[in-house]
Amino acid sequence: MSEIQLKTPDITESVFAPKVQGTLVIDKIFKESKLDFLILWSSISSFIGGFLQVDYSGASAFIDRFSHCTHQKTIVINWDTWLDGGMA
């Protein structure tokens, strides 16, 4: 059985919600603003993947792609794992 088959819609939604919905909320809040720049935090998992992280990688890839579609000058920082914290 593959990793994707183990992910239920509820599990996937719980991972997608903070990244995808959070990004969309930020976009809505600043849509009419003329920011100098916008920084979004993503993960290197968006391009290297990770064991049992298909949903997390997908949500991070959404942020990466979103940065190319927004009207703001947007910078994405693709973090690696954090020592003693985060998703590690």
Q: Categorize the per-residue pLDDT at 30 as very low, low, confident or very high, splitting at 50, 70 and 90.
A: very high
Higher-pLDDT residue of 67 and 47 is 67
CB neighbours of 78 closer than 8 A, spacing ≥ 6?
42, 43, 44, 46, 47, 60, 64
Task: Indicate the range of 2-6, 42-46, 56-60, 77-81 predicted with least confidence.
Answer: 2-6
Q: What is the mean pLDDT of residues 25-31?
A: 94
Residue 48: what pLDDT? 85
Q: Categorize the per-residue pLDDT at 85 as very low, low, confident or very high, splitting at 50, 70 and 90.
A: low
Length of the chain: 88
Residue 77 has pLDDT above 90, yes or no: yes
Instruction: Tell me which H or E stretch contains 27.
Output: helix 22-30
Q: Categorize the per-residue pLDDT at 65 as very low, low, confident or very high, splitting at 50, 70 and 90.
A: very high
Give the SS3 label for residue 44: coil
